[in-house]
Amino acid sequence: MTDLTHLERLEAESIHILREVVAEAERPVMLYSVGKDSAVMLHLARKAFYPAPPPFPLLHVDTTWKFQAMYELRDRAARAAGMELLVHRNPEAEARGINPFDHGALHTDLWKTEGLKQALDKYGFDVAFGGARRDEEKARAKERVFSFRSASHRWDPKNQRPELWHLYNAKKAKGESIRVFPISNWTELDIWQYIQIEKIPIVPLYFAAPRPTVERDGMILMVDDDRFPLRDGEVPVERSIRFRTLGCYPLTGAVESEAADLGAVIQEMLLTTTSERQGRAIDKDEGGAGMEKKKQEGYF
């Protein structure tokens, strides 16, 4: 008798999901955002298909506004996994110079939501893996592991396919697609602990270090490159900071911290008293229904 731990059961479940997709989809792809959840998902994919490399490409829907350190890890991780890396930037957003400083919500909508739809259509991917977790947000708690999308990428939360046992229905009509979330049942602590046990490389920004920052609208922002427009009187200040989540650097708030290794980061996370997505501006729009609405429109 071997008692499997909760992490062993989660790992086995995720690998099973990854393999089901590869067995049933015509053209799967893995959405890779370079964050810690993506890092775990990629690692699970390497385990699922070893000794073969994962038989699908990685897709990064880029906004051009990610942290420099994210771009560096992205290219390295794809090489290490032996996988093709596709990078898509919405040409319209690029042409119009859409940025988080001047365009607010339009930035997320054009670069991420529209960019993702464009990329999926361009390459004809019928299934896309995403690293979302059910513990992140209320709308995600109710989403299926295999989340069906109409030909126009819409999610219909009232018409989801029942998921029983380990049986996933991957059937779909031409033009329709499925978003699959292999780490649906992982929590933030699971992710961190797995990264520690499996020694998975993550972006150094998750660890505290002295970095140039400004404080704006109650958030500590990192001045990651010279595109950061300083307001009158703003002078970047060096603070020891780290990030709990990573996105576009002008939209991602840092926390002041001295936690420079995994043990310390996990310790700080467990001792902290605010939820994980505090640092991200996206969920606060439109009351509690912000994420649900975005998901219906095609946001991952």
The first and second tokens of residue 297, run together, are 């429109």
Shortest distance in whole angstroms from residue 219 CB to other proteins: 14
Chain contacts with other proteins (rule: CB under 8 A): 1-13, 15-16, 19-20, 22-23, 46-53, 134-135, 138-139, 141-142, 157-158, 160-167, 169, 171-173, 184-185, 187, 189, 193, 196-197, 263-264, 266-267, 270-275, 278, 288-289, 292-293
Give the SS3 label for residue 138: helix
Judged by beta carbon, residue 188 or residue 224, the one nearer other proteins is 188
Sheet with 219-222: strands ordered across: 219-222, 209-216, 237-242, 255-256
Judged by beta carbon, residue 50 or residue 101, the one nearer other proteins is 50
Judged by beta carbon, residue 111 or residue 168, the one nearer other proteins is 168
Judged by beta carbon, residue 46 or residue 60, the one nearer other proteins is 46
Shortest distance in whole angstroms from residue 238 CB to other proteins: 27
Shortest distance in whole angstroms from residue 152 CB to other proteins: 17
Q: Which residue has the tokens 């780290």?
A: 242
Strand partners of residue 66: 248
> Which amino acid type is present at position 283?
D
Cα gap 170→130, rounded to integer Å: 16
Q: What is the CA radius of gyration of the chain?
A: 19
Helix, strand, coil percent content, the chain, rounded in steps of 5: 40, 15, 40
Helix axes 188-198, 262-271, angle to 10 degrees: 170
Judged by beta carbon, residue 111 or residue 243, the one nearer other proteins is 243
Closest to 113 measured CA to CA, from 87, 90, 140: 90
For the beta carbon of residue 97, count every other beta carbon within 10 angstroms: 9
Judged by beta carbon, residue 68 or residue 275, the one nearer other proteins is 275
Judged by beta carbon, residue 4 or residue 230, the one nearer other proteins is 4
Shortest distance in whole angstroms from residue 270 CB to other proteins: 5
The first and second tokens of residue 100, run together, are 């988080």
Shortest distance in whole angstroms from residue 249 CB to other proteins: 22
Shortest distance in whole angstroms from residue 260 CB to other proteins: 13
Q: Which residue has the tokens 């909760």?
A: 6
Judged by beta carbon, residue 103 or residue 161, the one nearer other proteins is 161
Shortest distance in whole angstroms from residue 170 CB to other proteins: 9
CA end-to-end span of the chain:
40
Cα gap 282→208, rounded to integer Å: 24
Shortest distance in whole angstroms from residue 285 CB to other proteins: 13
